[in-house]
Structure 1
Amino acid sequence: MQGSENSHKPDINQADMVDTKEEANVPGISSDATIQTGEIKETQPGVEQLLKDAEIKAAEHHDAWLRAKAETENIRKRSQSDIANAHKYAIENFSSELLSVMDSLDAALAVENASVESFKNGIELTQKQLMSVFDKYNIKLIDPVGEKFDPHYHQAMCIVDSDLAPNTVVQVMQKGYKLHERIIRPALVSVSKAQGS
């Protein structure tokens, strides 16, 4: 058995062992690892330097992140302010146009001893002026006498007997208005009876 155990062991040269011991016992150096570490220290920065560099980069990234965060917050606040102002002053131009209509009404009321006819003419001119402002801002009149009743544009107030076709607008009690295609106010109407009702 001993012979077979010895046959499997590698043949170790005594001279190799001595050389290794001599290398390991060099004064001032404790082992091969220390020698290799010494070589690394000469070619690469120390751990302290790497840590310091990493801390500097981390601080730079953190500073950049804080600046980006602050800038984003400023943009958000500015956007909210712009939206609030847009809502608040959305009708500014429209209001300016209405002021000329108000001026016309004030001028009409300032006239002393005016006849009914001159008041009527002044009101008609003021109405035309107002309709001009409405046209400029795409506010359209809904005056559907004789048209087929449309619940999207008309609100039926009553149903009446009429010679007109069934479900036709007979009378407009209050005109409606739309802004572009959106209904601001439906027209209040009376509608002809359907046959057999």
Structure 2
Amino acid sequence: MSKELDQAATEAEKVIDTEINADEASLVDELTQANFRIEELEQQLAAEQAKVAEQQDSVVRAAAEVENMRRRAAVDVEKAHKFALEKFVNELLPVLDNMERALAGTSPTDEATKAVYEGVELTLKTLIKAVEKFGVTQVDPLGAAFNPEHHQAIGMQPSEDHPANSVMMVMQKGYMLNDRLLRPAMVMVSQGK
């Protein structure tokens, strides 16, 4: 009986070993499948994180673009406000020139033209003050160094009274609107001695 018991014990051990090996194999299969699933989930997570990063970058770029558009629009509005009067002022420049010519053609000491001179002078001063309120300034460079950005040279003449490359005569004053040149001053430049 002992042999039978030993044999039964051996068979039981074999069955147990087989079941343990089957359980171990099953556990190994489950662990392998779990590892495969974990790797798959990690890849999906990495892909989703990349999408999120891409979308965040897209949102940041869109916000920057909107901010740039706002800035450009603000600059355009500012320029429109600053230079809206440009066409109107350009239409007034010949009026200012004609009033200055009228002053040059009359004399404050001549009784016949004294009243006209005073009236034109007062009107010219009032008009100049009015346009100065809106950012218009005169460019009257008599005696100053020639500046090609603000002056238009009509010609050059030798002169002992004026240094070389200085404005010796202004034929027509120039005008600026908020530091933008509307019309250059037309000048005669000295060549010096």
Q: TM-score, normalised by structure 2?
A: 0.48
Between 1 and 2, higher relative CO (CA 8 Å, sep ≥ 6) is seen in: 2
TM-score normalised by the chain length of structure 1: 0.47
